[in-house]
Chains A and B, each alone.
Chain A
């Protein structure tokens, strides 16, 4: 059904006036007849609205830093923050031969009342000493939580002193949960720290192989990045680093040697992508390895960038072989999924990425949105100069990087760069909205009330979201698919991922459970009998 602007007013009837004014700016109905559709995003959450958002700590430690496996990530705070970010995001990590892997560990200062009163710096220093002695990591990160900023613990000074004492890198991140308005602030804070202290911190000047690339904003959820690596390596690319799925401190130090940076999750890593271009002259390419068509398109864009006939030929060979293998498998699932509709509301990138994969299965995404993306993720990077900085985001540090005179090298000539920009998303991301159709809805920071209302009005066949929504939606008799944790399945990226996703979605539609929701007695009268035809006996 077509959804119109006036339907929004009806939907928001229950809202207090102030809430209504606010929320209207975060929801739009796609209308291609309008030149430009603007959405408000990355603003503070309305108190009491039941948001799905998390905090800056989750964005920094939970998302970006946590996957770095040879580091111990110390959480300076009371026990909860470390505990909840312990093994709950499925950023898989395999222990390298002779390498270190601390993914299974949760290390926290477990601040007590006395630490709040007298400060927790000593305890933090003590914990770093103990970690170095017992766990012997290659590097340590220290992440701040809400009370740390308030009581004035100087985690930078403690980390610096510890680094001098132990001769291993100890990086500090001021990612207190109240910073910014969502996880997004944490991404930015983590990006700054990794750029300043890790990336380029090695003596290597040359990449370890041909067609050297970094994969940025890929966290190896359910093995996604391993599937992408399988494809890239077969074509002949050399993967210098992944940020940060199954990656390590040691790997990230080499990232400056790559010829091209691939950006999967724009929101969480575009800061580093930009800074790498400025500092080392390495362009970035927006890729999308979710969905067969998107994967093929991304591989061809990469081949175009490197412009080497051998590489292009190998690319096409791999594509042809993979397509021949996976397309027949997809067919069986398309039959089940065809002509269905989806809602797709995920963090800061998947809300867009999965729409094409759904489309390949014959599922139309009629509502999509992000928890914490910014306007550029919705509208495309060209709006960046127009984005107004508000009071809530002003305190997140912007770092300036300079051209590294010794290492800066234009990877391709400027004319060619311009030429390529017309053909492929080189150092550019056009955003989610251009890919959506008329009448489809874009919602920023979707809350519980709107979730229920939109489901009631639009009756989607499947809702792709997270764990907090999952059982709400299922209770309504609608299949739900977690697109953060993949419902403990995966990979969903690349060719194998597309099949896996298709199977999981089809299983969600066809599971017999949906037939059992209504008990048989609900539509049957308690007493039943037949009216006998009158047989006159007398």
Chain B
């Protein structure tokens, strides 16, 4: 497995080997699926759209619908205006969504297609909406694409219709699973704070089996809600990389103040999320949440010896990795390798600061790849690898147990239905960490060291 990866690390500048990121449009497609009755549309050649639908489908094991402008060589040279106009006509007459959310690819960005003027010239039926985001694949990563499409929801739809703000919060959950979005919504309901979450893919990519296929499932944030985000009292952006830009634009456009928080993974980040709600809306934290927090601390205390001092490597998308790094440190674990494929100085700054504060010496890199991570692991092995499915090749090569968290997870099911956020999600993470480590201890133990009670 991965036999050609040498232990010795040499600096590489020509590109990446085994990326820890993918390109913008898939993130935009995912965000657009979080709008109710919306069909994502990929303005480019059709290969991108197929790849993105396939990849999301494999992660969620649910239908992922999207249309494409299907560029040919002619359109690539002379522009794709006719393609997008035909797409708008065909999509609305054949599939009838309420919203068409267009994103772009490296093709259409390179040729400089002017989407707003194309949309203006297209026949958009009465009462229907077309929004767009520019998502050049050669900038950032899929997280950037998610951020750009979320920003487009604000840019096209958010309206401040009243001078005074409503007692309601906007929540931008970031690039997380529908299971996480459901958990954040549950917390909001327990807090009794009215809210608009956007985008919201719960009920879309985790839809139930009913015997009927619904092209536009029940879930998703409605256009009315998206409009109303301009009237909220605050926007909580969970995850700087995925959620920051939309929140900032909402502040600029509609004067809704933005609060940038971490993805609420683990005790500290969840505490901060609740404290933000508490102070903004002057609401006490209900006992149910206090109980959940107490249960979490109880379990960590009970089982700290399962994971304390264990070395761990974490890779994936920046918001998730930052929050996870903090969480495993709060368990007493030692993150010695932390990497994301998404570029951005803030990632390295934040993670390094955390490691420094804890006195941990570790490798930290943004815009890194899994080839480098593997080399780090050859030089300094760990007890646990946390990351997406691609980590299984490294895990096998180096005989390190892998715990699957993040995007994409292509070889296991259920993960996207259950949360990793909130106190409940943290409890689930601890179960996953402990199970993974203890399974390994059981597997490796001599008969005489094989324990009944652990």
Partner-B contacts on A (CB < 8 A):
14-16, 19, 44-58, 74, 77-86, 88, 95, 100-102, 104-113, 115-116, 123-131, 133-136, 145-147, 149-151, 176-181, 391-392, 395, 448-449, 452, 466-468, 470-477, 517-518
Q: Is the CB of B16 within 8 A of A110?
A: yes
Chain B residue at minimum C-beta to C-beta distance from A12: B94
Question: Can you give 18 A-B contacts (C-beta < 8 A)?
Answer: A48-B86, A78-B136, A88-B58, A105-B371, A106-B18, A126-B13, A129-B14, A130-B12, A134-B10, A176-B76, A179-B73, A392-B73, A392-B74, A449-B94, A467-B57, A472-B63, A476-B212, A518-B211
Q: Is the CB of B90 within 8 A of A47?
A: yes
Q: Is the CB of A147 within 8 A of B138?
A: yes
A391 to B4, CA, bound (A): 44
Partner of B70, one of A47, A80, A85: A47
Partner-A contacts on B (CB < 8 A):
1-4, 6, 10, 12-19, 21-23, 25-26, 41, 44-48, 50-55, 57-58, 61-76, 83-84, 86-91, 93-95, 105-107, 109-111, 136-139, 141, 207, 209-215, 341, 371, 393
Q: Is the CB of A147 within 8 A of B110?
A: yes
**Chain B residues within 8 Å of A85, by CB:** 51
Q: Is the CB of B23 within 8 A of A127?
A: no
Q: Is the CB of A150 within 8 A of B110?
A: yes
A83 to B20, CA, bound (A): 9
**Chain A residues within 8 Å of B4, by CB:** 100, 102, 105, 134-136
Q: Is the CB of A49 within 8 A of B50?
A: no
**Chain B residues within 8 Å of A74, by CB:** 15
Chain A residue at minimum C-beta to C-beta distance from B205: A471
Q: Is the CB of B73 within 8 A of A44?
A: no
**Chain B residues within 8 Å of A51, by CB:** 46, 50, 68, 70
A181 to B72, CA, bound (A): 6
A476 to B63, CA, bound (A): 12
A104 to B6, CA, bound (A): 14
Chain B residue at minimum C-beta to C-beta distance from A183: B47
Chain A residue at minimum C-beta to C-beta distance from B92: A48
Q: Is the CB of A178 within 8 A of B72?
A: yes
Interface centre among B67, B91, B94, B111, by most chain A C-beta atoms within 10 angstroms, is B94
**Assuming A78-B138, A476-B211, is B22 touching A83 (CB within 8 A)?**
yes
Partner of B62, one of A45, A395, A449, A471: A471
Partner of B53, one of A48, A178, A468: A468
Q: Is the CB of B14 within 8 A of A178?
A: no
Nearest CB of chain B from residue A92's CB, rounded to whole Å = 14
Nearest CB of chain A from residue B322's CB, rounded to whole Å = 21
A83 to B16, CA, bound (A): 10
Q: Is the CB of A109 within 8 A of B14?
A: yes
**Chain B residues within 8 Å of A113, by CB:** 136, 138-139
Chain A residue at minimum C-beta to C-beta distance from B107: A146
**Assuming A113-B138, A178-B75, is B47 touching A58 (CB within 8 A)?**
yes
Q: Is the CB of A107 within 8 A of B15?
A: yes
Nearest CB of chain B from residue A294's CB, rounded to whole Å = 29
Q: Is the CB of A48 within 8 A of B91?
A: yes
A491 to B246, CA, bound (A): 48
Q: Is the CB of B138 within 8 A of A115?
A: yes
The 7 A-B residue pairs with the shortest CB-CB distance, nearest first, are: A55-B47, A127-B14, A80-B23, A48-B87, A126-B14, A48-B90, A78-B137
A82 to B19, CA, bound (A): 9
**Chain A residues within 8 Å of B68, by CB:** 45, 47-48, 51
Nearest CB of chain B from residue A23's CB, rounded to whole Å = 11
Partner of A49, one of B1, B90, B210: B90
